Amino acid sequence: MTEFAELVGVIRDVILIVAFLLFTFLLLASFFLFRKVSRLVDSAKRTVARAEQVADAISSKISGSAGAGSGVAFGLGKAVAFFGGLRRDKKGKGEQENGKQ
């Protein structure tokens, strides 16, 4: 019976040592994985920030150009409306384009 107890004790000790080593390995692997993922996330954040800066620069240039172009178009539209209104006002009041009332 003592041989059986010694065998159970040895098996228990081996299982505890293997479990401890496995736990230590998993803990270290988790730590290194966390560091790698953390670096990857930081790199992704930097990349997104750079892409955001580029997009802002491009959109500001486009919107600035569009703003200048829309100002010119607005001015031309006002000029056309002004001169078009003058041409219509030269006709007599109450007259239509074909001369009939």
Rounded Cα–Cα distance for residues 97 and 8 (Å)? 115
Q: In this predicted model, what pLDDT tens digit does every residue of 43-64 receive, in sequence order? A: 999 999 999 999 888 887 777 6
Residues 6 or more apart whose Cβ sits within 8 Å of residue 54 = none
CA angle 42, 50, 60 (to 5 degrees): 150
Token pair recorded at residue 11 = 């098996």
Residue 83 confidence (pLDDT): 78
* Average pLDDT value for the chain: 82
Cβ atoms 98, 91 nearer than 8 A: no
Q: Kindly tell me if the per-residue pLDDT of 33 is higher than 80.
A: yes
Whether the model clears a pTM of 0.75, i.e. scores above it, the answer is: no
Token pair recorded at residue 78 = 């006002």
